[in-house]
Amino acid sequence: MPDTSQLPANADLRALTDQCVMCGLCLPHCPTYRLERHEAESPRGRIAVARLLASGQLAPSANAIAHLDHCLGCLACEVVCPSDVRYEQILVQSRALLEPARPASLRRWRWLHDPARLRFLARLGKPFQAFRWAPWLGRVLPGTSRLGRILREMPRPPGNLPAPLPVQANMPSRGSLTLFAGCLGHPLDADTVAAARNLLMALGFRVIEPAGSPCCGALALHAGDAEDAARQSHHTRKALEAGPSDAVLVIASGCLRSLRDHALQGTQLVVDDVLAFLAADEQIARLRFRPLPKRAALMVPCSQIANGTGSAPVKALLSRIAELEVQLMPEQPRCCGAAGNYFIESPSQADRLRAEKLDQLDTLKADLLLTSNIGCRIFLDNGLRHQGRNIPVLHPLTLLARQLEPQER
């Protein structure tokens, strides 16, 4: 550890931690506490560590960093907290406070929070079909190697894109909407982006997609890199405010809260989840979808619950596909283990959580798996691939767009 001196007191963080009454009602909802049954791996334990850090009573240590880093940031604790403790802020500020004390071995992997580099890697791997050979190469490397983990979890390219609309919807233009795909949406989630575009156009909207794939800043923010998160948020804010749009619709559930509560806070822009927007649009009743006699397991990401969207909008939309049986996966464990870069930085915990989710999928005997978060989709798809199982993992929008009937002129 480069610096063992005590941290300076942080009054803002101390005030946030003092809001927690240590009741423990959050413990059953915390994925890492369920795995470890260790107080330090619970929200209450992490808040206690943050309180000591904030008061200057605890020096930075490997244990303090590890316990805070093991948090998935799923915010299941914040959702159920009767005292309205702002756990996300506690986590972000604590990690930022510890950032200077991190060993160089951890700081060198901070490039994983740079969206431009991630996009470059994603696009570089596509022509070389890295998803075919990288997992094999990753298995050759030591199990604790971060590079090996990245290679083993190399995502497959997006599936077949929904076909472009053959005709425009028979309705007047209803205004412009900005579609926010996130920093990795176009290289890794192109089928979902195309699906969202098609559905919105079918409803008569003009769809605007910001250039440069701006990032919401969530990866850097939750890693404690406040400076980089602020830089990304500022760039995104400028890009979205410049667009002639009535609202910003977010595709990846993990981006919504970061955009709404950080990057675009205080602006006049309306920010909404694209699923919630579509479900609330009365004109959706004019669209027709082909029947699909299959059983789908629906995994509601922890980010979708934390941002207040929940499962109702997606269930309402999927109910428009006749003969499709949709079964909600059990809520616990709340998180699948992907959690941004968590699956790389804490592979053991992530794999245990993923295994639980895949076991649930076995019980439901589903033909396909639906989830609205790009990280969940990739991580669960990789888990199925590692098991040699060919179960499609799709965003609900992609399924809806594939079943959409051509519109009459």
Please list the pLDDT of the chain residue by residue as tens digits (409 residues): 334 344 456 889 999 999 999 999 999 999 999 999 999 999 999 999 999 999 888 888 888 888 999 999 999 999 999 999 999 999 999 998 887 777 766 655 565 667 677 766 666 666 667 667 777 777 777 666 787 888 888 888 777 766 666 545 456 678 999 999 988 888 889 999 999 999 999 999 999 998 877 888 888 888 888 888 888 888 899 989 887 788 999 998 889 998 998 889 888 889 999 999 999 999 999 999 999 999 999 999 999 999 989 999 999 999 999 999 999 998 877 799 999 889 988 999 999 999 999 999 989 999 999 999 999 999 999 999 999 998 999 999 999 999 999 876 5
Question: What does the alpha-carbon distance between residue 379 and residue 57 come to, in Å, rounded to a whole number?
Answer: 39
Question: What does the alpha-carbon distance between residue 282 and residue 263 come to, in Å, rounded to a whole number?
Answer: 29
Which domains does the chain carry? 11-102 (1.10.1060.10), 288-403 (3.40.50.1860)
Which pair of structure tokens corresponds to residue 67?
């316990």
- Strands (DSSP E) contained in 293-398 are 295-299, 325-328, 368-371, 393-394
Rg of the chain taking only CA atoms, in angstroms: 21
Q: What does the pLDDT read at residue 3?
A: 44
Tens-digit pLDDT profile for residues 152-195: 888 887 777 666 665 454 566 789 999 999 888 888 899 999 99
Which residue matches tokens 């791996």? 41
Nearest to 46 by CA among 63, 28, 29: 63
Model pTM? Answer: 0.90
Tallying the residues shown for the chain, one arrives at 409
Give the angle subtended at the CA of 285 by the CAs of 277 and 198, to the nearest 5°.
Answer: 60
Nearest to 44 by CA among 9, 71, 62: 71
Question: What does the alpha-carbon distance between residue 156 and residue 388 come to, in Å, rounded to a whole number?
Answer: 14
Q: List phi, psi (to 5°) of 271.
A: -115, 130
Which residue matches tokens 């176009």? 186
Q: What does the pLDDT read at residue 143?
A: 61
Q: List phi, psi (to 5°) of 223.
A: -85, -5
Which pair of structure tokens corresponds to residue 249?
């619709």
Q: Which residues are paired to 272 by β-bridges?
A: 249
Which pair of structure tokens corresponds to residue 227?
């400076």
Which residue matches tokens 């053991």? 348
Q: Which residues are paired to 207 by β-bridges?
A: 177
Query: Which DSSP state fits 323?
Result: T
Sheet holding 176-180, edge to edge: 206-208, 176-180, 248-250, 271-273
In contact, 150 and 385? CB cutoff 8 Å: no
In contact, 249 and 216? CB cutoff 8 Å: no
What stretches of 208-346 show up as alpha helix (H) in DSSP?
A: 218-222, 226-241, 253-258, 274-280, 302-306, 312-318, 342-345
In 10 A of CB 363, how many CB atoms?
11
